[in-house]
Chains A and B, each alone.
Chain A
Amino acid sequence: MSTTIALLGQPNSGKSTLFNALTGLRQHVGNWPGKTVEKKEGTFTLGGVTYKVADLPGSYSMSANSDEEVVTRDFIASGQADVVCILADSSQLERSLFMLADYAGISAPCFLVLNMEDVAKEQGKKIDPDAIEKKLGIPVMMFSATDTKAYEKFYAVLERALKNKSQLNVSALENEYEKVEGYSKIKSQLDDGVISGYTPMWLTVKFMENDKVVSAKLKNALPDEKLKKIEETAGGQNGAIAMGECKFKWIDGILSGAVSSSSPGVQLGKLDRIFTHRIWGKPAVVLTVILGLIASFIPALPFMGIGSAIPMLKGPVTASLSGAGCPEIVISVLCDVVIQSLGYIVQMLGFVFGVTFVFGLLEEAGVMARISYVFDNTMGKLGLQGKSVMPFLVSFGCTMGGAGGARVIDNWGQKVLTIALAWAVPCGAAWSIVPMLAATFFGAWSVAVIVAILLTMLLHMWLTAKIFGRRLVKEEERCGMIMELPPYHKPKWGALLRYVLGRTKDTFFRVTKVVMLVCAIFWLLSYAPEGSNSILYNIGIAIEPVTKVFGLPWQLFLAFVASMVGKEGSVGVISALYTGGSYGAAFNAAMSGAGAAPDLTEILLANVARPEALAFIFAITFNLPCVVALAATYQEIHSAKWTAKIALYYTAVSLVLAFIAYRVGMLIW
């Protein structure tokens, strides 16, 4: 039998760092059954015993403000956790003990970790954990994730909490609650165990705070006359405020005599004066993200080198296999599906590795909170957090990196919405072909085309946020910014690196499965044995009357289909198709990095009309970014349904945009 530890803490309490340090590579991320909430679990072994660690989602309290918070408290109350490890930030104890105060009254055993010991020391704060432990009745320890010795201490305290099944002493807190009018009256109507896992005290407090979930549960559990009595007594808004005051009075009582501070008052640091500047804040954040993006390429380069070298295996593999008498079709599958996809995946994985590392660093150091602060108002209009600006900017380079970077968004719905919007940002591959195509057809007017693309992108994002936002980010869960700017921390390099490697490995296996599958389907569709045409070619010809409505003759439509696998390949496909080459061969060659025909400009101008070119440019720019981005999206949001929804939506919208561009083009030329 294994032991389960649940980690509970406010944002910036160092919960993720502790989780990563404890579990290392043994992590599993999924969704809570039937919920749009991310579930993070991991394991570690100590003295032959396996411990399961659940990193509980949530924000500042145990209220029912979001699905995350409801999942968290249900998990604890269900008794699945043998012990709950509650984290608080030593440098801001007064505020961060709120989670403990809100937890008080839930029956599961717990212990308290006062994290960020190093930051508190730097600020001149002295904390006496033993004094706090005496008042709380549960094990209390100072902790600093960057201190390697701290873990031995952590394991010892964990053992102690498990052995004693330590329960929080809540009598002083209850004394405070009892002073509030109505509290005792309501509590007297609730029997022990009326809702399992929660004490009558906790339920009373939540009822007075107008907690919708608790109120609904009590409605089911209580006989009518009792329900009537408690509903009569509830104090509305004042009850909620009074409960909050009680919690902080209790915290003040716990800290008095246990904490001494010699901090000289507050001032914004140099960096924060820039980030919070009315004018320079936004440019500073954008610059930070761009520098981060550039820095991401440093760890990414070796991967990219290996990735681009992989397709070179095709030649020797083909030669040796055909020498051994292997059938052509097997060689084709091996080269055009397996080797091709691997090369592609490894290259992009490098980017994801870099982005995860650099942006994980920014998150741990506290810089991400500043990014969030600066862009929260703008992103809030789309239903997103300020942090969402980061995946958007990364997506100008690579959508897969954007999807990977969306990991720092702690709310599942907002994460899915962020990735869905990031897809609308034209990626590096689009930028490598679109300006060239535009210049070929429109000369100096290509600048206008680029501007039109950028405007369309903004409109697209706004519209997509409207369409998907309602389902993903509930209106009542949206609220104006009330956030903390945590002090800057030193990152824990070892744990971060282990975590990033683990995630990269995980991404590799999951992404590979999806990419191979999609590539195999495309290969099958484009495979043409001697003397016959590929399925895709036949379909393209058959539905040309339809695709022409969108301004795409069959050659351009097939190139559009090819751009779903990778945008770089689509130009090669066009030049091959207009010069009588086969689709399959052209596509595979183009994806392996073969250049387009030298007389590409003439081929294009001779065969494609300007409105068609405009339609094509819009179609491939706003098409789904590529199969690797698709797979990465699936990996991040763990929902096949939403991944498919987003993919279909993008395909449809890109065709609509092509239609509009074509009609506009017809009016002009």
Chain B
Amino acid sequence: MKLSEIKENTKAVVNSLDGDARFISRITSIGLTPGSRVEVIKNDRRRPVLLYARDTMIAVDRKECEGIQVTEVRA
């Protein structure tokens, strides 16, 4: 599923990234690569998704979330 479909306070693992060279470069440089564990902290409609990954609080636009496929991790 897409990153934006993950509910708040849920953990997930990044499966794949999809986008142009610029997007791939930006998203990897901020720490998201396949296999990264993320925790969605805030996910309000029409607002950027807030997530925690690699010790960092990161905000990602909903549109950019389209290119980030994840799998939910159940506790």
- A interface residues with partner B (beta carbon < 8 Å): 10, 59-61, 63, 65, 91-96, 98, 102, 209-212, 237, 240-241, 243-245, 247-248, 266, 268, 272, 276, 278, 281, 373, 376-377, 476, 479-487
Contact = CB atoms under 8 A, between A and B. Distances in A.
Contact of A482 (B36, B46, B50, B60): B60
B19 to A, nearest CB: 8
Contacts of B7: none
Nearest to B65: A480
Contacts of A485: 50, 57-59
B1 interface: no
Contacts of B36: 248
11 contacts: A61-B25, A92-B56, A95-B54, A95-B56, A240-B28, A241-B33, A276-B42, A278-B45, A377-B48, A483-B30, A483-B59
Contacts of A241: 16-17, 24, 28, 33-34
A13 to B, nearest CB: 12
A61 B29 contact: yes
Contact of A278 (B29, B44, B59): B44
Given A276-B47, A481-B48, 20 more contacts: A61-B28, A63-B25, A63-B29, A65-B25, A95-B55, A95-B56, A212-B21, A243-B28, A248-B28, A268-B42, A278-B47, A281-B47, A377-B48, A479-B23, A480-B60, A481-B61, A482-B26, A482-B59, A483-B30, A485-B50
B57 A482 contact: no
Interface residues of B, number: 40
Nearest to A10: B29
Contact of B24 (A10, A92, A237): A237
A485 B35 CA distance: 22
**Central interface residue in B21, B35, B36, by most chain A CB within 10 Å:** B21
B22 A65 contact: yes
Interface string B3-44: 000000000000011110111111111110111100101101
Contacts of B42: 268, 276
Q: Which 7 A-B pairs have the closest CB atoms?
A: A244-B28, A480-B61, A60-B29, A95-B31, A61-B29, A94-B54, A210-B21
A481 B64 contact: yes
Given A248-B31, A377-B48, A482-B27, A93 B55 contact: yes
B59 A373 contact: yes
Given A237-B18, A266-B39, A484 B56 contact: yes
Contacts of B60: 480-482
B24 A266 contact: no
A373 B57 CA distance: 12
Contacts of B30: 60, 95, 482-484
A311 B18 CA distance: 64
A169 B47 CA distance: 42
A243 B27 CA distance: 13
Contacts of B33: 241, 244-245, 248
Given A241-B24, A278-B44, A483-B59, A92 B29 contact: no
B38 to A, nearest CB: 11
A490 B58 CA distance: 21
B63 to A, nearest CB: 5
B45 to A, nearest CB: 8
A65 B26 contact: yes
Contacts of A377: 48, 61
A237 B64 CA distance: 16
Contacts of A245: 33-35
Contacts of A60: 26, 29-30
A595 B18 CA distance: 65
Contacts of A247: 28
Nearest to A99: B29
A273 to B, nearest CB: 9
A116 to B, nearest CB: 12
A373 B51 CA distance: 13
A102 B25 CA distance: 11
Contacts of B61: 376-377, 480-482
Contacts of A248: 28, 31, 33, 36, 54
Contacts of B54: 92, 94-95, 248
A123 B10 CA distance: 22
B64 A480 contact: yes
A91 B54 CA distance: 10
B25 A240 contact: yes
Contacts of A63: 25, 29
B63 A480 contact: yes
Contacts of A272: 57
A278 B64 CA distance: 19
A184 B1 CA distance: 34
Contacts of B56: 92, 94-96, 484
Contact of B41 (A102, A268, A476): A268
A219 B10 CA distance: 46
A94 B59 contact: no
B34 A476 contact: no
B5 to A, nearest CB: 17
A98 B30 CA distance: 8
B64 to A, nearest CB: 4
Contacts of B52: 266
A124 B38 CA distance: 20
A550 to B, nearest CB: 43
A484 B57 contact: yes
Nearest to B47: A278
A485 B56 CA distance: 7
Contact of B55 (A91, A102, A237, A276): A91
A94 B54 CA distance: 6
Given A94-B31, A237-B18, A244 B57 contact: no
B21 A240 contact: yes
Contact of A98 (B29, B41, B46, B53): B29
Contacts of B23: 479
Contacts of A376: 48, 59, 61
